[in-house]
Amino acid sequence: GVHAKRGVSCADCHMPYQSEGGQKFTNHQIGSPLSNVENSCFVCHREKVDALVSDVYERQAKIKEGSSKLQTQIAMAHIEAKKAWELGATEAQMKTIQTGIRHAQWRWDYSVASHGAAFHAPLETSRIISSGMAIIQEARIELTRLLASLGFNEPVPMPDFTSKDAVQTYIGLDIPAERAAKADFLQQVVPQWLKDGKARESKMGSKAVSSSK
Ligand code: HEC
Ligand code: HEC
């Protein structure tokens, strides 16, 4: 991205300098630079806060548009591949299709799981997403041909991808059970000193919370 090319470091944006009592230090509460545009961006930029923030959101929205489409195509390919296996497709018939699904999936993961990529390097990220899209469409064309050769000539039924509930039900995810398991896990892994600290903090009320910021 343009910032890396100009030698701007992660810390320039995510750990901006601040002063307190005559001491200058970098902020170690790493988070979104957008909550502190004055210190994070104004060192180098002179635009209005609104303009910089909307520029970031605009980039993220544009990338999301592409990554959401790619994600749906990958899910459809997985469902079509399952159908092909059920109809007796062989490993040899599935080989290039599986490779295609993996290669598209990696590109989706790389663009989405790195989180900041839509802002850090929007051009590179959209290039990766488009290449994932080309790969998955190729795999789906191959799947349609394979399904036809196995005697299946209609579209494979799909869940409603616009509804999270519908998709979770489709894959058999029991959300209440997952939530309970998570609560149980957190109960086990959160150390006692942290629980004690939190309890103390909430007893001390808002003063402690605001001074810890
Ligand atoms: C030019 C400023 C800038 C630089 C340099 C920068 N970032 Fe970011 N980063 C941002 C902005 C802006 C966001 C989006 C924040 C938001 O959406 O609230 C972001 C988002 C992120 C996120 C996602 C956070 C989330 O909750 O989704 C991560 C992780 C991240 N950056 C890590 C890094 C790392 C690691 C580096 C260095 C390799 C880096 N950033 C360099 C400005 C920068
Ligand atoms: C250490 C300096 C530095 C910091 C800090 C910095 N930038 Fe930049 N930014 C640059 C430079 C240099 C460029 C490239 C300018 C050019 O080529 O004209 C740039 C370019 C940009 C561009 C235009 C990118 C493009 O593709 O044309 C945007 C948007 C931007 N910065 C947003 C931000 C935001 C938001 C922050 C704070 C989170 C931030 N910058 C923090 C130095 C910085």
* Domains present along the chain, CATH in parentheses: 1-46 (no CATH), 49-163 (1.20.140.10), 174-205 (no CATH)
Question: Does residue 203 have its Cβ closer than 6 Å to ligand 1?
Answer: no
* pLDDT band per the 50, 70, 90 thresholds, residue 205: low
Q: What is the pLDDT of residue 202?
A: 86
Question: Does residue 12 have its Cβ closer than 6 Å to ligand 2?
Answer: yes
Atom 29, ligand 2: which residue's CA is nearest?
Answer: 55
Closest ligand relative to 45 C-alpha: 2
User: 68 CA distance to ligand 2 centroid (A)?
Assistant: 26
pLDDT tens digit string along 144-155?
999 999 999 999
DSSP per-residue codes, 48-94: -HHHHHHHHHHHHHHHHHHHHHHHHHHHHHHHHHHHHHHTT--HHHH
* pLDDT band per the 50, 70, 90 thresholds, residue 166: very high
Closest ligand relative to 31 C-alpha: 1
Question: Does residue 13 have its Cβ closer than 6 Å to ligand 1?
Answer: yes
Indicate the length of the chain as a whole number. 213
Question: Does residue 52 have its Cβ closer than 6 Å to ligand 2?
Answer: yes
- For residue 207, pLDDT over 70 is answered with no
Query: CA-CA distance, 212 to 206, in Å (whole number)?
Result: 10
In 3-state terms, what secondary structure has residue 20?
Answer: strand
pLDDT tens digit string along 68-102?
999 999 999 999 999 999 999 999 999 999 999 99
Which phi and psi (to 5°) does residue 19 adopt? -125, 145
Atom 19, ligand 1: which residue's CA is nearest?
Answer: 116
pLDDT tens digit string along 42-71?
999 998 999 999 999 999 999 999 999 999
Query: CA-CA distance, 130 to 70, in Å (whole number)?
Result: 8
DSSP 132: H
Q: What is the pLDDT of residue 210?
A: 42
pLDDT tens digit string along 13-49?
999 998 889 999 999 988 899 998 999 999 999 989 9
In 3-state terms, what secondary structure has residue 161?
Answer: coil
Closest ligand relative to 39 C-alpha: 2
- For residue 107, pLDDT over 60 is answered with yes
Query: CA-CA distance, 204 to 213, in Å (whole number)?
Result: 15
